[in-house]
Structure 1
Amino acid sequence: MALSSTPTHDGSAKRHEAWLKQKSRAVRGALSLTATSGLIGGVLLIIQCWLVARVIDAAIIEGAELDGVWQWLWPLLGIFLARALMSTITDRLAFEAASRIKRTLREQVMARFAARGPRWMEGQRSGEIANALGSAVEGVHDYVSAYLPQKQLAAMIPVAILVAIFPQDWVSGLILLITAPILPLFMIIVGRGAEALSQKQWRRLALMGAHFFDAIEGLTTLKQFGASRREAEAVARISEDYRSATMKVLRVAFLSSLVLEFFATLGVAMVAVYIGFRLYYGQLDFLPGLFALLLAPEFYRPLRDMGANYHARMEAIGAVGELMPILSEDSGEPDNEQREGSGEPNEGSGEPNEGSGELKKAQALPDRPIARVRFEQVSFHHGPTAGGEESHGDGVEAIDFTLARGECVALVGPSGAGKTTLGKLLLGFLPVSDGVIRIDEIPLPMLAPDAWRQRLGWMPQRPTLFAGTIGENLTLGAPESTRDDIEAALRAADALDIVHKLPDGLETWLGDGGSGLSGGQIQRLALARALLGRPDVLVLDEPTASLDAGTAARVLAGLDRARVDTATLLITHDISAARRADRILFLDRGRIVEHGTPAELEAASGAFARFVELAERGVL
């Protein structure tokens, strides 16, 4: 399945908001403190209005001098400072609550991505993944920090104001009480139309963001094939469609704001008119009348603020439409480790898989080094990818071999023969369709994935270096490594000179993807990272790719020294690398068609010998 969801409808909007409220329970304490501090600010506002009314009444009606009003001016100054303090506290508490929710959501999204594994990731658009971690999670921020606290304050502050007004002027209090429900009523009526448009608009934004991200990521390819101008026109067209749709949303949103402002203004005007006439006819004293008039706009302010923050609710509901498919338990294509509890046996193997009842309790690997890895009639069929597209290659069929400690087995064959698939099966990235992989007689699905991968070293065909220092990249899987360990791994990968030539050595900062380094340098540093943890099992996918002949020879010599106590599975098209292996398995169309030592296979004049001949002629 893709990350994206379909446009949100009324029923799903309710589910999305219920999901948001359930997630918000994790910060219930912070939200309660936010509402409490906001309520204290509202009470201080009521006191401030009374003091202002008292000062004006004393100065205008009673004719008091400055000395006669100091007793109210000093407390008024204190109220100003206290309100500023409470406002700051409210904002900080709200921001902290929203930040905690976002941090939790990002951790959960990343955990789901990791749990679904590389196979699922291959079917996703990188732009949609970035949008889920970025815009979708950020869309929840204002809902938590602004809408939820304001929703509580919209109920509490008007009640506090009514409690203060009724003893002073019951007529004004009655007007406010009668007109108060009109604002949320019309906000709901107008807001429903804006909500539907906003949810569709969020989907457009997600698609546009994913498209832009993918276009930027593939900009080099677009330039190479002269398609950049055509892509720029597509971007302009999508942007214009988004602008047009945004204006439709804004028209409805502005209508909602107009309705709120109109009825709030009408309510204040009614209070002012009634107070004015009663003051004129002597039915009301100046002080309570002015006090009620000062509080009338503040009575509607929380309701207006909630209306202003209503768009945050709509944005969050749209964002949840992107997040819920990711965080739901039954969505996506799980990887090998996620099948736990499924109860589905491996067909025809006679072995339970990791989901069967016998295997729910993961077994631990012994403390000693792994002595043997055995593939027993292992099969895997790709089928459709997570994105619904057919994958390339038919997988592997009935693979049977043993990899012992200190031994190097090379997987050789044409592209699409299943070499990388075997490596992913051993890493646990793909579930075995049939047969079983045993690690010292323990079926691989019975091992805890994290514990198993701690014993592994892996260098993929296209390794990734992350933004950070070289040292941080090297110690990604072995954070306790000493400097001597790092230099030993760099030496084995013929990468020590790379670090020595850099101005800051291991502290040199790399950009995303290892920008600033050549492909060959990235390859050697990634190999050093794989060797650093001194793994029991080492899986190397084209370790000499992007390397010149001299560097490749030095890397292979270093590998020969480093793999003495390691079971190494070498996936390669490089004949010179394959010749250094202890044994070669030649794969074609997912099956082992030849196996033996390099010398035996070359002398046999079979599939491997023909492969060598084609490689030496430069045909491959």
Structure 2
Amino acid sequence: MFDKRLINEGRQVKGYLILTVGLSVGISLLAVAQAWYFSQIVAKVFLAKAPFKAVDHALGLILAIVVVKALFQWSSEVCAHEAALRVKSDLRQRLLQKIFALGPFYVRGEKSGEVISTIVGGTDALEDYFAKYLPQLLIAVGIPLIILAFVFPLDWKSGSILLLTGPLIPIFMVMIGKLAEKKSLQQWQRLSWMSGHFLDILRGITTLKLFGRAKDQIRVIARVSESFRESTLSVLRIAFLSALVLEFLATMSTALVAVAIGLRLVYGTLSFSSGLFLLLLAPEFYTPLRTLGLNFHAGLSGVNAADRIFEILNVPQPNLSIEPNSDTRHSRILADDYQIKFDHVTLTYEQEDTPALQDITVSLNCRETIALVGPSGAGKTSLVQLVMGFIQPSEGQISINGELLQTISPNIWREQIGYVSQNPYLFAGSILENITLGKPEATMNEIIKAAESANAHNFIMTFPRGYHTILGEGGYRLSGGQAQRIAMARIFLKNPPLLIFDEPTSSLDLVSEKAVQEALWNLAQGKTSIIIAHRLNTIRQANRILVLDQGRIVEEGNHDGLMIKRGLYYQLVQKARGLSL
């Protein structure tokens, strides 16, 4: 199972792998020396009736060889696992970096559980590939050749038997491996499916309980688990069959060597010490081949996991044209007052024919509050995602003070942005840790001031541990309004010049809505703000309102001017008020 992609990954740890193979070769040479001394001792003691003193030196050498072999074996395993751990760590980091670079739109199109299974379980499956299979692949070639180099000068007949029977083990290993390949891939796919399904159920457990479908999901989980069990057992059956065949071939081949040696000992054509030495070397010749066969399935699992890992790593990233050493220049440009300009921008998502945005040409000016309104699916969120750089336009250009957005480092650009969504995500950890995402080096006074500005300080202090109160995943223990104000405190602490609000008050009660709205307008003072509006009463203070419909800007102006036009905006306001048109 020689996978070029994994071999390339192994280049970064080739020193550890070479040391692993070198130590294994050393173990083999020590085994040859041990067999030689042992055969000489037996011949002297049982045939020549030599006293103990005549062989005590050789026995001491054998003891030393056993100790050194154990040290070499331990060192070899340490080096092999160190190589595997380094490759796994590197791949995990690259996978996370790739997923972060692809952004939230890629993640939304994937099953979270399956992605997690790839990052954790998939990379773990590579450990045996690098720690056992890959070194053993080289050892299985080198050590039998070393053994033959000692056997042929003593007895060409035994060497010929070893040379002819040795290749049978890898041949049968490959034949059985081809049978196992499809089963192993099926096992990995079902594990990923099961992981994704479990996560979906955990996330939707409230909905399942409310609709009385929890018991149905228990049956589904049982069915999914049974499917995984069957695929795992089918792989194990093949693995056990493989082990049986390989052990049988190795045993029979060793028996052939033993019979040939025994016959020549009977007829006196071979000395006893040489015969015993050859007999002791025969198992050493087959051991690396048998071990390779046993590790073949580990290699197969690693290759199947690698398919999904490299599928993610090879997903095309947005076409960015970032010049080297441009971060300093762009930081200076973005530190000044800046203008965001859309020039004939069109966006069409993959596997879709209808554009989400069509021929958008608009400028968003510094320290201006712009509201985006329109019916569901009009393109409001798509426009904001373009501004944040999570997706790239299919046609047209977006520029910041004349600099194309795709030439600016995403990290430098996003430092300028503060984003609050309808359902902000709070991580499992303390309130303090969640707020300081906006500025990790902030002082406690700065954190309290930010929380006060977001109308969050008072309710935080009602908790026994205050800012050190531990939140569950997703902000468990907080109401929607409290979670929004924690998210607003993050932005106050970060204090970016560009703010984007995906209507943070849309799902709040009136009291919470008032508190969040007050924090929102306090935060927007002196900054450029983009507000996606669902509750239209939140945007009366906006300097400019962009009305989108079917991916186009159909109206533009302030609240009073658009109401006079009695167009789409007027209709949306009337519907929001519950009035018939």
Match of 2:446 among 485, 490, 494: 485
Partner of residue 459, structure 1? 420
Alpha-carbon contact 2:102-2:390 (below 8 Å) kept: no
Match of 2:81 among 95, 98, 104: 95
The correspondence of residues 31-46 of structure 1 with structure 2, limited to 5 A, is: 31-46=17-32
Give SS of 2:499's match.
Answer: strand
Task: Show the counterpart of 2:510.
Answer: 549
> What does 1:262-411 correspond to in 2, within 5 Å?
262-328=248-314, 331=315, 334=317, 338-340=318-320, 364-366=330-332, 369-376=335-342, 379-383=345-349, 386=350, 388=351, 394-395=356-357, 398=360, 400-405=362-367, 407-411=368-372
Q: Output the CA distance in 2 between the equivalents of 1:20 and 1:180.
A: 27
Shift of 1:325: 2.6
Q: Counterpart amino acid of 2:391?
A: L
Q: Pick one of 187, 194, 206 that aligns with 2:180.
A: 194
Shift of 1:279: 3.5
Give the counterpart letter for 2:330 in structure 1.
Answer: A
Aligned to 1:570: 531
Aligned positions of 1:13-412 closer than 5 A: 17-63=3-49, 69-328=55-314, 331=315, 334=317, 338-340=318-320, 364-366=330-332, 369-376=335-342, 379-383=345-349, 386=350, 388=351, 394-395=356-357, 398=360, 400-405=362-367, 407-412=368-373
Deviation at 1:259, TM superposition (A): 2.1
Deviations 1:259-317 (A, max 9, x none): 21111101211222233333344444433332322222122110000000111222222
Structure 1 residues 608 and 305: alpha-carbon distance in aligned structure 2, compared to 1, 3 A threshold = same
Contact 1:41 1:83 (8 Å CA) reproduced: yes
- The answer to which of 21-30 and 410-419 deviates more is 410-419
The alignment's C-alpha RMSD in Å is: 3.5
Q: CA deviation at 1:399?
A: 5.3
| Partner SS, residue 400 of structure 1 | strand
> Is contact 1:396-1:418 (8 Å) kept?
no
**Identity between Structure 1 and Structure 2 (%):** 39
Partner Cα separation in structure 1 for residue 164 and residue 398 of structure 2: 74
CA distance in 1, matches of 2:462, 2:34: 68
| CA deviation after TM superposition for structure 1 residue 101, in Å | 1.7
> What is the rounded CA distance, in whole Å, between the counterparts of 1:147 and 1:504 in structure 2?
52
Specify the SS of the correspondent of 2:339.
strand
CA–CA distance in structure 2, aligned partners of residues 95 and 511 of structure 1 = 35
Contact 2:356/2:382 (<8 A) preserved? no
The amino acid that maps onto 2:364 is T
Cα contact 2:348–2:394 (8 A) shared by 1? no
Distance 1:169 1:467, change over 3 A: farther
Q: Secondary structure at 1:538's aligned position in 2?
A: strand
Does structure 1 conserve the Cα–Cα contact (< 8 Å) formed by 2:422 and 2:505? no
Q: Give the superposition deviation at 1:615.
A: 4.0
Amino acid at match of 2:275: G
**In structure 2, what residue type is equivalent to 1:234?**
V
Please tell me whether the aligned partners of residues 410 and 578 of structure 1 are also in contact (alpha carbons under 8 angstroms): yes
8 Å Cα contact 1:425/1:431 also seen in 2:
yes
Aligned-pair distance for 1:394?
Answer: 4.2
Measured at CA, do residues 81 and 522 of structure 1 come closer, stay the same or move farther in structure 2, by a change above 3 Å? farther
**Helix, strand or coil at the partner of 1:457:** strand
1:520 is aligned to 481
Aligned AA for 1:277?
L
| 2:142 aligned partner, one-letter code | M
Structure 1 residue 76 displacement after superposition: 3.0
What's the secondary structure of 2:77's corresponding residue? helix
- Cα distance in 1 for residues equivalent to 2:104 and 2:193: 22
Q: Decide whether aligned partners of structure 1 residues 431 and 364 sit closer, same or farther in structure 2, where only a CA change above 3 A counts.
A: same
Q: Choose 184-193 or 274-283, whichever is displaced more.
A: 274-283
Structure-1 separation of matches of 2:184 and 2:430: 42
When residues 382 and 618 of structure 1 are mapped into structure 2, their CA distance, relative to the original with a 3 A threshold, is farther
- Check whether the contact 1:418–1:588 (CA below 8 A) recurs between aligned residues: yes
Three-state SS of the structure 2 residue aligned to 1:364 is helix
CA distance in 2, matches of 1:70, 1:618: 107
- Aligned partners of 2:359 and 2:113: how far apart in 1? 35
Deviations, residues 155-185 of structure 1 (Å, cap 9, x unaligned): 2222222333445555433432332222222
The equivalent of 1:440 in structure 2 is: 401
Give the partner amino acid of 2:435. L
Partners in 1 of 2:324 and 2:360 — Cα distance? 23
* More displaced stretch, 298-307 vs 450-459: 450-459
Q: CA deviation at 1:390?
A: 7.7
Secondary structure of 2:282's aligned partner: helix
Quote the Cα distance in structure 2 between the aligned partners of 1:521 and 1:482. Answer: 22
Does residue 419 in structure 1 map to residue 402 in structure 2? Answer: no
Counterpart for residue 436 of structure 2: 475
Whether the 8 Å contact between 2:357 and 2:552 is mirrored in structure 1 is no
| Greater mean alpha carbon deviation, residues 214-223 or residues 152-161 | 214-223
- Secondary structure of 1:415's partner? coil
Check 1:402–1:299 CA distance in 2 against 1; reply closer, same or farther (3 A cut): closer
| 1:272 maps to amino acid | A
Residue in 2 that maps onto 1:10: none
2: CA distance between counterparts of 1:232 and 1:390? 39
Distance between the aligned counterparts of 2:562 and 2:481, measured in 1?
A: 30
Decide whether the 8 Å contact of 1:396 with 1:422 is kept in 2: no
Deviations, residues 190-226 of structure 1 (Å, cap 9, x unaligned): 3322234433443344344434433443333333333
Measure the CA separation in 2 of the matches of 1:390 and 1:482. Answer: 50
Task: Find the counterpart in structure 2 of residue 346 from structure 1.
Answer: none
Total equivalences in the alignment: 579
Decide whether aligned partners of structure 1 residues 602 and 484 sit closer, same or farther in structure 2, where only a CA change above 3 A counts: farther
Q: Distance in 2 between matches of 1:550 and 1:424?
A: 30
Q: Is the Cα contact below 8 Å between 2:481 and 2:513 reproduced in 1?
A: no
Evaluate the alpha carbon distance shift between residue 543 and residue 173 of structure 1 in structure 2; reply closer, same or farther with a 3 A threshold: same
Matched residue SS, 2:539: helix
Which amino acid in structure 2 is aligned with residue 120 of structure 1? Answer: Y
Structure 1 Cα separation of the partners of residues 219 and 110 of structure 2: 24
Mapped to 1, the partners of 2:530 and 2:498 lie a distance apart of 8
Q: Deviations over 1:354-399 (max 9, x none)?
A: 9xxx99989724256342434446544445xx5x4789x9446645
Q: Which runs of 5+ in 2 are unaligned?
A: none
Quote the offset at 1:65 in angstroms: 5.7
1:546-603 Cα offsets, whole Å, 9 max, x none, are: 5443343333333333333321212233455324544444445445555555566678
- Larger displacement relative to structure 2 (231-240 or 596-605): 596-605
